[in-house]
Amino acid sequence: MLFDKMIGTIQERGLIKARGKQRTDSTHVLAAIRDLNRYELVHETLRNALESLVTVAPAWVRTIAQPEWPERYSRHLFNFNSPKTDKERDKLARIIGSDGFALLASIDEATKNGLGWLDNIPAVVILREVWQQQYTQPPEPPRFLEQNEQVPGAERIASPHDKDARFSTKRSTEWTGYKVHFSETVTSQNNYKVRVVGPPMEDKSWQARESGFDKSYFKIDWVAKVDTCPNGMKTKSWRTDTTDTSLAVFKPSDCHKCRYREICVRGLTPAGQPMARHLTLKPQAEH
């Protein structure tokens, strides 16, 4: 019942037609964040949480902060200032994990003493989620989870500064951000002001693939409805159907004796005669 109601509403707004087809596709949207490796992610998540806590509860932070924290988390971690060997990086990951769990334990203790609002600070919420996604949990010593122990990449937080951004892939494209879905119809641009950005669909004809005479070589007179081929011959007919798609056809005799035939038209008619070139044309604006 809900689906039928939805379809009815969409039809009333002219977005789909009865028995019609429409293509729904997704495109990638980059998040306005810096790409972080795993070490940078946990370091930045903890640094961001501490920064937020210092802003709203400085006195409380002074009572629970470890002496090393100001130096360890006062600046961002980048590749150039991070450990260079696997052993050193593993040690750093365990230290950051321990510091994060210590901070979360202090927040849990503060909650029992009437400071439950600390656990609702967005940066703290993200810290708790990232530590669940990245580390083994107490009482086990903290270590990075193996790949098969982690939640899928599409569910993992990629940056503490944008909780909804996710690592995504589409065929050969990889990015951190979002997928946005568009339903495309031939009237999207005119009726709904959907601005299409990017190259049009490639010409899949054999003429285009083999450097022959594809549609771009033909001169189209949209007013007179006449096409002129690269050899100067004009179409014998032009028919337009109910979808405003036109079929422009050249004379068989012109095509049969043309010196450019091999790079323009191939094949035989059902009667065994050489095919004449024809062009299928979308409305002028779409073409």
What is the structure's pLDDT at 185?
63
Distance in angstroms (rounded) separating the CA atoms of residues 55 and 60:
11
Q: Residue 166, CB half-sphere, CA atoms under 13 Å: how many?
A: 13
Q: Name the token pair of 113.
A: 């003493």
Same domain, 44 and 166: yes
pLDDT tens for each residue of 247-286: 999 999 999 989 999 999 998 888 888 899 999 999 998 8
Last residue of a domain, one of 170, 194, 221: 170
Q: Name the token pair of 58.
A: 């400085």
Same domain, 142 and 44: yes
Which residues, other chains included, contact 265 with Cβ-Cβ below 8 Å and sequence gap of 6+? 255, 274, 275, 276, 277
Same domain, 42 and 126: yes
Same domain, 219 and 276: yes
What is the structure's pLDDT at 36?
86
Same domain, 143 and 63: yes
pLDDT tens for each residue of 85-96: 889 989 999 999
Residues of the chain with pLDDT under 50: none
The CA dihedral of 145, 66, 73, 57, to the nearest 10 degrees, is 110
Counted domains in the chain: 2
Tell me the whole-structure pTM to 2 decimals: 0.58
